[in-house]
Structure 1
């Protein structure tokens, strides 16, 4: 059994629908989709879920765009992505048919040591055998007709793909409160991740140099802090992808995301001297999207004057999502200041993610929230929210039952989330609200 999530890489010419398929597999709109070639010039990373399994998806730039420099960049990006792959989906265009460019790409893919699937996209409204007929000549096994836009046959495709890959050890966050707290340290290069880990371990276990890119892989180590067991994972720095030239550093992005997936708590480290980058916000978004508890550690705080500290605080408020619900700790990994607060925040975040919430208490909080601020009427009819219960942990999932809940707006949902967070001290973790419309099963019992 593999210890990490499998990696599925999407390749193909421009405008064949790779980004649409990426969005379909990840349930997101992270990849830019437009009806013109060459939109995706770099790689996008996301978490997919299909056939009851999780996996990482990598969307590559299209090969064969007009600009020679862009084409060369896309080719290099794709080659690096293929080195990360456990399986490859070669996306083709049913409307255009097989092209010389497809044949060139297929020739490269046939040399790979991993499963490659010819995926014929834009096949909606077509007979599958007719849509795939001319793609058999590519020599990549039987082509599979899909529609990424409409989702046709995508589920069956992923069942086939994932069946060929080893099962990952997807233990995720440990349910046992006494188990070692698994903490992944993520951030851009030179933010001080290895210095932090060395400080926590009390030894120079990790190589820490004053230059970016020193750590290339995810390295785990066990230690104790205030009598509690931890496992800390130091990951390679993740910088903006357009600035990554070293293939080893590009490979490290996948390692970091895999480490975050297996963690109880993610510590996102930010270099106070460099400020908050767009990649920091994107990384934090991926972590919270996966439901992981998180703490933000602003490192090298001790060397800043008051004006610089104020500027960093303002930048944090503007650029980082979820700042109102995630702890922010100002630390010096080199000198050890702020580390106790950081570790205590990590423990509290993990406790919040694992919280057991009773139905009666949840329902009382819901009742008080509705009494203070009732849902707005829709077409003259009130939305009634009856009761709530817990539907899961890591992150806490709260299921709310009522009528016409599908008409609740995002602002009111955020209001309810704030009320639950405040009532149960659910800071440091995302919360998932699920709404169900139907009769109250307890109503007949009361009668």
Structure 2
């Protein structure tokens, strides 16, 4: 069993900083801002050879507004899932009434709790820890998450039931020096990891078979402007209140990765922060939220662009759409809040969208209601189709045949009195689907003919919802050097 460590505390005590320190990533946003984290975030950490799962939670505060209640629910779920809890307090701010309230709730949970005093650098440690003894969790453990002070010792103590020694340290025999002669002198409990033979290399066929056996989870990024229903859609797909939903625009600040399974397929939903026009972004933290959203698009296999069906498609939506297309991700357009719209109104909305984005007629458009769950099944049908198209293995002979059919119907143009010659084509990669075309003078192919080839490949292969790119390569002319010699 992998231990699960939940980071609990009031806002702005350094939970996200410690989370990033443990996971050795920068997935959680960190800033000197009250209540920055709102959704619980999961990450994998490895301490002294022991794997564990860390949960970063929102700060628990004594407020009665809807957003604070939703954040408190997220922390309660994390406490219920955790094996052990790190109760983090601020050594600089001292003991506050919110800490006492959280301590009472943690005692009712009957979980193993470690009291951690963060931000200890520059303070008198013993004097700073005195008042935290009254919380009733024993001696507080001083750390500084931003500098890493005391973090390793703390985690080794927390994970001590799961950490086992590898070698017999009293005998002074390192693991790599264990031989048949001294093996009998070493207790077997100190040799938990058996040596493996790394000399044998896998053949190309064995490597391909291993890759085929890996069940790759489909990463789906849900993006759009603030308050269009991205978090509501995430909860609707999951069938539970996984992320915080509130009427306040900009509720989601982090990009939250959530694993799920549907129809025997693995998915990872990425709920992202809303992207507003640059002129309306005033807070610095919102800039980092937008950066995380753009990174989530690049990390995803497929992007669901969520629009408000009752509003016209804006310039900001077009800007976000342009970034998705340039990143080469598969795309599905979601028109949310479409409940109550008549068929005639939907047709008008679709005509308006087609007038603005008619150049991407290969993308599926779905009218849904994330609040009531209407149309979700059709969305997953399009997701499966787009992912299968993006990962389809296409033989070189098939691509070459389609390319020759395209050149027969419409020949390549002349370049300096010589016609471009396309010899053969083969697949070059996925996400986006890349087709490499070899020939003579192919690098001089005009953009209009490139678009013709892209559309011809897309129609012939029946590719829906995915990006398709062409790469042109031409061989070196073997007579260039000879011509230079003759001319000299």
TM-score (norm 2): 0.53
1:314 to partner: Cα distance:
2.7
1:399 to partner: Cα distance:
1.0
Out of 197, 201, 216, the residue aligned to residue 234 of structure 2 is 197
Whether 1:398 aligns to 2:428 is: no
Distance 1:316 1:382 in 2: 39
User: In the comparison of the two structures, how many residue pairs are matched?
Assistant: 277
* Paired position in structure 2 for 1:236: 273
Distance 1:4 1:273 in 2: 37
Distance 2:471 2:283 in 1: 43
Question: What CA deviation, in whole Å up to 9, does each residue of 1:346-367 have, x standing for no partner?
Answer: 1222222222221101000001
1:237 to partner: Cα distance:
0.7
* Paired position in structure 2 for 1:350: 387
1:429 to partner: Cα distance:
1.6
Out of 335, 349, 355, the residue aligned to residue 298 of structure 1 is 335
Distance 1:277 1:303 in 2: 22
Q: What SS is found at the alignment partner of 1:312?
A: helix
Out of 342, 353, 356, the residue aligned to residue 319 of structure 1 is 356
Out of 394, 400, 414, the residue aligned to residue 363 of structure 1 is 400
Whether 1:435 aligns to 2:435 is: no
Q: Is 176-185 or 388-397 further displaced after alignment?
A: 176-185
Q: What do you get for the CA RMSD once the two structures are aligned?
A: 2.8
Distance 1:299 1:2 in 2: 37
Question: What CA deviation, in whole Å up to 9, does each residue of 1:179-237 have, x standing for no partner?
Answer: 22111100001111011111111111112223311111111212222232211011111
* Paired position in structure 1 for 2:376: 339
Out of 257, 261, 264, the residue aligned to residue 298 of structure 2 is 261
Q: What SS is found at the alignment partner of 1:391?
A: strand
Out of 409, 413, 426, the residue aligned to residue 372 of structure 1 is 409
1:336 to partner: Cα distance:
1.3
Equivalences for 1:28-427 in 2 at 5 Å?
Answer: 178-320=215-357, 322-427=359-464
Q: Is the 8 A contact 1:402 1:439 kept in 2?
A: no
1:389 to partner: Cα distance:
1.0
Cα distance, 1:175–1:346 mapped onto 2, change above 3 Å: farther
Gap regions ≥5 residues in structure 1 = 8-112, 114-173, 442-447
Distance 1:3 1:320 in 2: 37
Gap regions ≥5 residues in structure 2 = 1-22, 30-145, 147-210, 479-488
Question: What CA deviation, in whole Å up to 9, does each residue of 1:229-268 have, x standing for no partner?
Answer: 2110111111112122343333210111111121111111
Bigger radius of gyration: 2
TM-score (norm 1): 0.57
